[in-house]
Structure 1
Amino acid sequence: MGKPTGFIDYQRETASEAAPLLRVSHWQEFITPLPDEKLQTQGARCMDCGIPFCHTGKLISGMAAGCPIHNLIPEWNDLVYRGQWREALERLHKTNNFPEFTGRVCPAPCEGSCTVGLNDAPVTIKNIEKAIIDKGFAEGWVVPEPPEERTGKKVAVVGSGPSGLAAAAQLNKAGHYVTVYERADRIGGLLMYGIPNMKLDKKYVQRRVELLAAEGVTFITGAHVGVDYPVEKLQEEFDAIVLCGGATKGRDLTIEGRENEGIHLAMDFLRRNTKSLLDSEHQDGAFISAEGKDVIVIGGGDTGTDCVGTSIRHKCRSVTQFEIMPKAPDRRADNNPWPEWPKVYKMDYGQEEAAALQGADPRQYLISTKKFVGDENGHVKELHTVLIEWKKDEQGRFAPVEVPGSEKIYPAQLVLIAMGFLGPESAVLDQLGVEKDERSNAKAAHGKFATNVKGIFAAGDMRRGQSLVVWAINEGREAAREVDRYLMGSSNLP
């Protein structure tokens, strides 16, 4: 696997990024890949470690450790090192239906569990993955592969995000007739409207959708199942249904002053921005603009970062990001050992851009918003905050405690709430009679994915709650296998 001494002979080198002050002027991807010879050198760093943790895909301490779809990372790293790119692509597609997505947006838990990372910088797995699939498309190696035979069985997939697309791809491969229903006007779910274009160019999403269509998958947009498209129709027409609607119910901040205008859930902001960009390059004005405004983003994570990066491209006056948790340490803490995901301080693209423009990381830590205050027109003008400390309560659980005298007022004409998600929207689940778990997700055991209603399965964030794109792909693939088994009595799907 790679060069036995590669991790000693070569240093980690990643793809270069356009300077923050240059890339904020456009909505295109800004990463320049390494040339092939450098990628081969990086592949050589993948040591023959005996027991590779990079593709284990386990939850350790609540965080992903290793690749959830069990990518055969050492194998395709070795093939890249040897210049066998097409063979590397075949290995990659064995486990990952959409490496062009994960190679761009996955946080790479595989690298956090890389054995080289015990003592040195981990292998650049994500960069190599993206390079393999991009070369595959450039060379014409990725072509439609429709099934040779059809089973005659029909499956409906509700939702076209990563789990829905993965389930559709696998079920189609098994020979079933698959129809994907999407409530939006474009296919892709959060891949299309939840992730900004500079992070995942939508031409790559559309390219994969067109490939799936050429393989026989049918896509229907503008069909909000359970709202304007009756669930009874699906039950009458299909032999099985896979629910992949995501966990799209945003967590709100219902404090004093929430009724003021100018306060939005993050996904409303991001979705409308991308739709307007794709429809008219923002000429239609059908988006929430941050131009000339002081923007406060409440919440961290990828969604918060995307709000920061999007606001900057709108030419906001300033952007500040609130996080209720403390700043992460610069190095792994003793209670965060390898191969756990390294919970360390880092600046993502949005924070880098804000720092380049404003002179500092935009994040404020250990801060809680107490109330919103509006102006005479009912539009938000400021936030009242207080610093907090995390202390154990009488039950021994950590809880936030306000720091006396730490009150502060922040000006804001646009507030974006990026505090995560509460679960799936309930209309389709309620109408189908699908049981929910204690977190309001569709109740379906992992590994089986079957709900309490015969012939109805659930996967992705709708089943497991808010998670990573790579976990959604894992769930879509595994649910497809169980649907195939339900329909045919057995399954050859992985």
Structure 2
Amino acid sequence: MGKPTGFMEYKREVAEERDPLQRLSDWKEAYLPMPEDKLKRQGARCMDCGTPFCHTGIMLNYSASGCPLHNLIPEWNDLVYRGRWKEALDRLLKTNNFPEFTGRVCPAPCEGSCTVAISDPAVAIKSIEREIIDRGFNEGWMTPNPPKKRTGKKVAIVGSGPAGLAAADQLNKAGHTVTVFERDDRIGGLLMYGIPNMKLEKELIERRVKLLEAEGVNFVTNTEVGKDITAEELRNEYDSTILCTGAQKQRDLPIEGRQLNGIHYAMDYLTLSTKNLLNNKLDDKSGIHAEGKDVIVIGGGDTGADCVATALRQKCKSVVQFGKHPQLPEERSYDNPWPEYPKVFTVEYAYDEAEAKFGRDPREYSIMTTKFVGDENGNLKELHTIQIEKVKDENGKISLREVPGSEKVWPADLVFIAIGFTGPDQGVIQQFALETDQRSNVKAEYGKYTTNVEGVFAAGDVRRGQSLIVWAINEGREAARECDKYLMGATVLP
């Protein structure tokens, strides 16, 4: 695949970013389109490695190794190298319903298991993927393709995130009449409101939704199961139901002072910010707004980074992000070998922007918040921290220990808690009387997706817990296959 000696001749190149200070003045995508000659060189770097690990999609050491969608990466890399873009698009769409999303917000486990990455920087798979689908839309190749005949079967899908949309797309292709129910005012789930516009412009989601509508998928917004429609009504009206509601119950930080004004969940902040952007209310400061404030984000992951980038665009006075783990190494450590997902130090778009604005990377490592302190009016004014370190006992068990004398007080007007999710909301689950596992997720076997209720399936984060967009699409596709088999006795879906 690619040029036999390409991985030796060409270096890794990725899409360039717009100037950090310039992009702080808008909410547009941070990355620029990649020139075709660079894309062809990256396609040429894809080596004829015999056994490609990039599309294995297995779990190693609790992380995805290779693409869970089993994308035919060497094939479309080779086609891009040869300039055969439409064929590359056809191969990409065989396994991935929404490459315009994954090509932007997936952390690219495919690149971590790229064979070139054993000794050199990986092929820029994610950049190639994004450009293939973007070219597909720009060239007019992405046109509605509704099924030639309908089966007469009706399927309800609850939740319009990546799992729900993938299931809807697949079942519609099979000829079923599909209706997607979304409790919010726009389709997309966390794609719409959990990821800020500079990482995933909302026009891309709306473009895809319009295409799905043109192919026959029905969308119903502002409709919550248990409030606006009951589970019983869905089961009576539809032949089958797939639950794809995600795992949006945010993990709290129940320490002293948590009740003070100015402390918010990260997802509440990101959702409100995106809604204000889409509703042309960027100047509305009546809700959660960072202008002129000292902002602290608790949680070292991607959601925390998105809060940093959002606060910067709202002209915060300062911003710091806390993480409880030490800074990652520049290169793989001995206990993180290829083809595991590489746990190495990276600089995301938000950190470039913070450094350009304030002269430093906003991240603080190995730090734990001990309490919040407010003023006489109940408003947050500061928080207290202590440094922590990892220690290993005689049995090899690792725990965190506070470092004496490392206490510090930080000024803070606004705090965002971004320490993950504890599981799905239970309301819909209880409506359907579904069994749950010990982590409160819907109990449904991977690969089958059947619940304890006849004709009701579950897929995505509501079944597996908080995970990657590629796992959500993978499960949506597979649940659609099992649903089709349930409805028809056999399936035409992959």
Asked if TM exceeds 0.5, the reply is yes
Does 1:240 pair with 2:211?
no
Give the whole-Å Cα distance in 2 for the aligned partners of 1:226 and 1:402: 45
Secondary structure (helix, strand or coil) at the match of 1:482 reads: helix
Deviation at 1:238, TM superposition (A): 0.7
Segments of 5+ residues of structure 2 without an aligned counterpart are none
Instruction: Name the structure 2 match of 1:311.
Output: 311
| Residue of structure 1 equivalent to 2:465 | 465
Write the letter of the residue equivalent to 2:41. T
Residue 34 of structure 1 aligns with which residue? 34
**Structure 1 letter corresponding to 2:108:** A
**What is the aligned partner in structure 1 of residue 443 from structure 2?**
443
Q: What does residue 333 of structure 2 align with?
A: 333
Question: Does the CA contact (< 8 Å) of 1:227 and 1:427 recur in 2?
Answer: no
Residue 135 of structure 1 is matched in structure 2 by 135
SS in 1 for 2:279: helix
Shift, 1:91, TM fit: 0.2
Q: CA deviation at 1:37?
A: 2.1
Q: Shift in Å at residue 229 of structure 1?
A: 2.3
Aligned to 1:87: 87
- What residue identity is the alignment partner of 2:300? G
Listed as ranges, the matches of 1:355-366 within 5 Å are 355-366=355-366
Q: CA deviation at 1:394?
A: 7.3
Whether 1:293 and 2:303 are equivalent positions in the alignment is no
Q: Deviations over 1:393-420 (max 9, x none)?
A: 5764322111111111111000000000
Do 1:55 and 1:72's aligned partners in 2 also have CA atoms closer than 8 Å? yes
After TM superposition, the score normalised by the length of structure 1 is 0.99
What do the CA deviations read for 1:257-303 (whole angstroms, capped 9, x no partner)? 00001000000000000001001141444641011111000001110
Matches within 5 A, 1:451-490: 451-490=451-490
Number of the residue aligned with 2:422:
422
Name the structure 1 match of 2:225.
225
Q: Distance in 2 between matches of 1:76 and 1:179?
A: 32
Partner of residue 196, structure 1: 196
Contact 1:227 1:428 in 2 (8 A): no
Q: 1:38, 1:430 → 2: CA distance? A: 52
Q: Distance in 2 between matches of 1:428 and 1:348?
A: 35
Per mean C-alpha deviation after superposition, the further-off stretch among 427-436 and 384-393 is 384-393
Alignment-derived partner of residue 97 in structure 1: 97
The residue aligned with 1:120 is 120
Deviations for 1:149-189, whole angstroms, at most 9, x for unmatched residues?
11111100000000000000001011111000000000000
Q: Distance in 2 between matches of 1:287 and 1:478?
A: 40
Displacement of 1:392 in angstroms is 3.2
Give CA deviations for 1:207-239 in whole Å, capped at 9, x if unaligned: 000000100000000001123321111011011
Letter in 1 for 2:171: L
Shift of 1:36: 1.4
Superposition misfits of 4+ residues, deviation over 6 angstroms? none
* RMSD (Å) for aligned C-alpha atoms: 1.0
Matches within 5 A, 1:165-176: 165-176=165-176
SS of the residue corresponding to residue 16 of structure 1 reads coil
Which 10-residue stretch deviates more, 27-36 or 434-443?
Answer: 27-36
SS in 2 for 1:475: helix
Identity across aligned pairs (percent)?
A: 65
Paired with 1:324 and 1:224, the residues of 2 have a C-alpha distance of: 36
* Equivalent position SS for 2:371: strand
Q: Matched residues in 1 for 2:224 and 2:288: separation?
A: 23
How far apart, CA to CA, are the structure 1 residues paired with 2:228 and 2:362? 42
Following TM superposition, by how much is the alpha carbon of 1:391 offset from its aligned partner in structure 2, in angstroms?
A: 1.8
**1:210/1:315 CA distance change after superposition, 3 Å:** same
Write the distance in 2 (CA, Å) between the matches of 1:223 and 1:118.
49
Q: 2:50 — aligned with what?
A: 50
In the other structure, the counterpart of 2:276 is 276
Kept in 1, the 8 Å contact 2:444–2:450? The answer is: yes
Other structure's SS at 2:390 match? strand
Alpha-carbon contact 1:160-1:188 (below 8 Å) kept: yes
* Residues 261 and 394 of structure 1, relative CA distance in 2, 3 Å threshold: farther
* Cα deviation, residue 355, structure 1: 1.5
* Separation (CA, whole Å) in 2 of partners of 1:442 and 1:174: 26
Query: What corresponds to 1:249 in structure 2?
Result: 249
The 2-side partners of 1:394 and 1:370 are apart by: 28
Q: Give 1:480 shift.
A: 0.4
Partner of 2:102: helix, strand, or coil? helix
Secondary structure of residue in 2 paired with 1:49: coil
Does the CA-based 8 Å contact 1:272-1:286 persist in structure 2? Answer: no
In 1, are the aligned partners of 2:30 and 2:349 still within 8 Å (CA)? no
Instruction: Give 2:342's aligned residue.
Output: 342
8 Å CA contact retained: 2:171, 2:480: yes
> How many residue pairs end up in the alignment?
494
Paired letter, 1:115: T
